[in-house]
Structure 1
Amino acid sequence: MPIRTSRIVRSVVAALTTVLATTVVGLTGATAAQAAVNTSPNYLVVYNNNIENWLPASCADGLIWDRLITYIKARPLSPDIFTVQQVSNQTQLNALTQRLSDELPGTYAGQIAIADPGSMGYTSTCGKMKNQQTNAVVYRSDRFTYEAATRWRSDAPEDYDAGTGPCRNLEPTRSSQDRVHNIAVRLHDRVAGQDVSVASIHWPTDTWHASECADENIREADEAMDRLGGDLKIVAGDTNAEPDTAGWWNDGKGYGYRDPIAEKCGSRNCSSAYDTLNSRRIDFLLVKSGNGFSNVATVTETMTGGAYSDHRAVTAYVNY
């Protein structure tokens, strides 16, 4: 009996050792998968989010943007391109690219629309953390070489208070409107050997009756893409306009853009699961000259473990 018991014990120990070794290997593999850069020449990992000036905890009122970074860190691949709106200034963009470089696989750089935006006129301690606002394109500098940029200002009606008149650039009024200063960049993808042009856009709010000029704003975004050229074109950002407003979405489709979220949900007007601000879908990732998508998602609060911005991020793997 002692000999038989000893054999049984040895068999159990050996089996447990095998299971534990397999588990460790599996966990190591999972960790590695969650800490990888995209090395494929066939697609790009793209995110877009209006970061609402990256609120610190003292001003966040429950909106903790760190949750989005934590979510991205748990994904299999880090972003190749990350378009952001309402970044405060060059200093905040530098802090953002440094943090992404420190906490994610890859090295990040960025181009901003205006390095030092004008004041929005807020006077509170936090200034709603929106006293300065503009837009930027963040990209992996270990994959892309920056080549060129173009900048332009979004339109609103000439009489923006009444919502009448032809569409004109929305210049500073009672407060700065540098948040509607858009930027597009052309990047050379050294992995794919192709050029990609990326725009980060922010259109005016309904305060300025901007929905009247949504069709003009998508036309100007497309013109910016044409100025830069490239094998792949991505326009992403906060339109402040739903897909059926002023025909802009249909115009964009006519220019050759595809909407990964719409293709996933099966309609231009998706269900509330795809809303990005309150009960509206106003944040978009649009792609021209692409060959389809995968891993398309609206990043909800459930996915991140809580709210991280007033706006939900959108993401997709975009094929060349």
Structure 2
Amino acid sequence: MSIRHHRLVRGAVAVLCSALMTAAAGLTGATAAQAAVNTSPNYLVVYNNNIENWLPTSCADGYLWDRLLTYLKGRPLSPDIFTVQQISNQTQLNTLLKRLSDDLPGTYAGKIAIASPGSMGYTSTCGKLKNQQTNAVIWRSDRFTSEAETRWRSDAPENKTGGCKNLEPTSSSQDRVENIGVRLHDNVRNLDVSVASIHWPTNTWNGPDCADENMSEAEEAMVRLGGDLKIVAGDMNTEAKTRGWWDDAKALGYRDPIAEKCGSRDCSSAYDTNGSRRIDFLLAKSGGGFSNAAHISSTATGGAYSEHIAVTAYVNY
């Protein structure tokens, strides 16, 4: 074989090997994309959900919250931050942190508003409502370091008619209105991020009458924590058009990725998160805007997982 012919053959083999390696890398990349952490310094993958229906399978009554976890396993990037409402107690938070760390890329840590909330007054261990309910912030501990935290209680009208006042525990405890905010240091971006998980009182307590006050107190908590990026997410138990709270949030610099996606403060019913209402929100004080904003319907998860639809967005710095 001539030297020239030998070089041509060798070149052809090299090209073929390169093509095979590229194809293999493409397949590997496609697989890895289903199991990756976010390493970008430019945005955070954020989820919010009221997980009130995370119950033992024997009690789930059609709501299987594990469906949302299964959905997350199939996403290109695991959550960097996950705010949850109506989690039972520290024990359930620990279980959730282990599940996230075992099932998803990354490791997870979290802080709960009240480790052992008071009883809601229910007598049954089954059904859609849990007897203990509070709120928590979860984050990827392989990316973030916890620096500080703050807690505060949501307001409702005193005696349902008077001025806004902290809703104190009763025989049917409202420890689910104890909010928590955490300041995290992002070791990838080298900036601080403050995150709050909030739950405002329901119509039972005329809670929507104090929505603007509750938004103001959430902002006060964020100011206490500081941070270059601020995220406030949770179950507001009221719609964006109620009592001007959403407009107040916008005036304070917060943006609503779902509203920006639907093109209006008052989105169509396609964006409802609880029955026929959009009451679960992910707000961010971020000049960078958002991408991949969505709410996770029960169709996407193969069945109902909670009475509340999860909300997600990539939040840009």
TM-score for the superposition, normalised by structure 2: 0.92
Give the letter for the 1:105 counterpart.
Answer: P
Shift of 1:131: 0.4
The 8 Å contact of residues 290 and 318 in structure 1, kept in 2 or not, is answered as no
Q: How does 1:138-153 map to 2 (within 5 A)?
A: 138-153=138-153
The 2-side partners of 1:293 and 1:51 are apart by 24
Counterpart position of 2:80:
80
Alignment partner of 1:98: what SS?
helix
- 2:47 aligned residue: 47
Residue 56 of structure 1, CA deviation:
2.1
Q: CA RMSD in A?
A: 1.8
Q: Report the residue type matching 1:135 in the other structure.
A: N
Are the aligned partners of 1:53 and 1:87 in contact in 2 as well (CA < 8 Å)?
no
Amino acid at match of 1:247: G
* Separation of aligned partners in 2, 1:243 and 1:64: 28
Q: 1:122 is matched with which residue? A: 122
Indicate the percent of aligned positions where both proteins have the same amino acid: 78
Which structure 2 residues correspond to residues 84-163 of structure 1 after superposition, within 5 A? 84-126=84-126, 128-160=128-160
- Aligned residue for 2:269? 272
Shift of 1:31: 1.5
Q: 1:103-252, aligned counterparts within 5 Å?
A: 103-126=103-126, 128-160=128-160, 164-252=161-249
SS in structure 2 at match of 1:49: strand
Task: Identify unmatched segments of 5+ residues in structure 1.
Answer: 1-18
Deviation at 1:60, TM superposition (A): 1.0
How far did residue 128 of structure 1 move? 4.2
CA distance in 2, matches of 1:237, 1:43: 20
Cα displacement (A) at 1:28: 3.0
1:22 Cα offset (Å) = 8.1
Q: The residue matched to 2:150 in structure 1 has which SS?
A: strand
Shift of 1:303: 1.1
1:287 maps to 2:289 = no
Q: What amino acid sits opposite 2:223 in the alignment?
A: D
User: For each residue in 1:277-303, what CA deviation from the matched residue of structure 2 results, as whole angstroms up to 9, or x when unmatched?
Assistant: 000000000001341100100111111
CA–CA distance in structure 2, aligned partners of residues 294 and 128 of structure 1 = 33
The one-letter code of the counterpart of 1:66 is D
Letter in 2 for 1:238: D
How many residues of Structure 1 are paired with residues of Structure 2 in the alignment? Answer: 301
Higher alpha-carbon deviation: 260-269 or 66-75? 66-75
